[in-house]
Amino acid sequence: MTDGAIIDALRSRKSVRHYLKASVPRSDVARILTAARCAPSGANLQPGRFYALTGAPLADVSQALTAAAYTQPITSEYSYFPNPMPATLKAKQRAAGFALYQALGLERRDLAGRRTQFDKNYRFFDAPVGIVVTIHKDMGKGCFMDLGMSLMALFLAAEDLGYGTTGIGAIANFGPVVHRALKLAPDELVVCGVALGREDTNAPVNKFRTQRDALETFASFRGFQAD
């Protein structure tokens, strides 16, 4: 591995929200998930399960989620965002949303268009593979951190094999729906979804990139000598 290869991959990776129809071989999905399990894990508990779906099973879950979005109240089993959301973080959330819709040519007042775009979350953005991620309900907050590291490993492994991905927190909005569709055990909590496939590089939505905070806003250095 060349110096900086992983850093370059981290910088180049982005959320892909439009995919080619090309199928993904089971062997590639298996390699990606095996790599994801290599992430650090406190006490080696290796929290989280990954349900990889394609074809009819993926369509069934997508249809159930889409129907629920228009007929049922949100029933997320955990809080993804702080509640209430601090004003500084709310500003970040809004800026990212507005930038995404601008990339798609959607005006701020185009509520129908924005809803149509958001609903693609429940179809895994029509990717050829959708992954449902769960965790045991009794796991502590540290285990969520470990699962997050597994997800990052998953994203980078997919990138290494030439695939695009995006995490989909909205899948957890209807955890009970996913439970029924996949016949999950009662002690499993739906955390998120992941879309996986070949990126459609011509899609305007895939040209959208979020901005990251500058180093000085989130990090401090103490005891170091000047370079």
Q: Are 134 and 188 in contact (CB under 8 A)?
A: yes
Sheet architecture: strand order including 188-197 = 49-53, 129-136, 188-197, 164-168
Residue 117 domain flag? no
* Residue at 12 is within a domain: no
Retrieve residue 224's tokens: 């170091």
Q: Strand pairing of 188-197 and 164-168?
A: antiparallel
What pLDDT shows up at residue 66?
A: 97
Please tell me the predicted confidence (pLDDT) of residue 227: 80
Whether residue 166 lies inside any domain: the answer is yes
Does 108 map to a domain? no
CATH number at residue 54: 3.40.109.10
The whole-number pLDDT of residue 199 equals 98
- pTM, two decimal places: 0.95
Please determine, for residue 161, whether its predicted confidence score (pLDDT) is greater than 90: yes
What is the pLDDT, as a whole number, of residue 106? 87
Q: Are 177 and 150 in contact (CB under 8 A)?
A: no
Compute the mean pLDDT over every residue in the chain, rounded to the nearest whole number: 95
Q: Strand, coil or helix: what is 138?
A: coil
Residue 177 within a domain: yes
Reading the block at residue 219, the tokens are 């990090």
Structurally, the chain folds into a number of domains equal to 1
- The number of C-alpha atoms within 13 Å of 196 and in the hemisphere containing its C-beta is 32
Inform me whether the pLDDT recorded for 195 exceeds 80.
yes
Tens digits of residue pLDDT in 117-147: 999 999 999 999 999 999 999 999 999 999 9
Q: Give residues with Cβ within 8 angstroms of 122, minimum separation 6.
A: 62, 65, 66, 68, 69, 170, 171, 174
Question: What is the mean predicted confidence (pLDDT) over 208-224?
Answer: 94
* Cα 223 to Cα 154, 220, 226, distances in angstroms: 35, 10, 10
Q: Is 193 a domain residue?
A: yes
Q: Is residue 150 part of a domain?
A: yes
As given in the structure block, the two tokens for residue 170 are: 């909205």
Q: Which domain holds residue 195?
A: 22-80+122-206
Per-residue pLDDT at 108: 81
Reported as a pLDDT band with limits 50, 70 and 90, residue 104 is confident
pLDDT in tens, 51-92: 999 999 999 999 999 999 999 999 988 888 998 999 999 999
Q: Directed axis angle between helix 26-36 and helix 141-160, to 10°? A: 140
CA 116/CA 129 separation, integer angstroms: 21
Residue 3 pLDDT exceeds 80: yes
DSSP 47: -
**Is residue 105 included in any domain, yes or no?**
no
**Half-sphere exposure of residue 22, counting CA atoms within 13 Å on the CB side?**
11
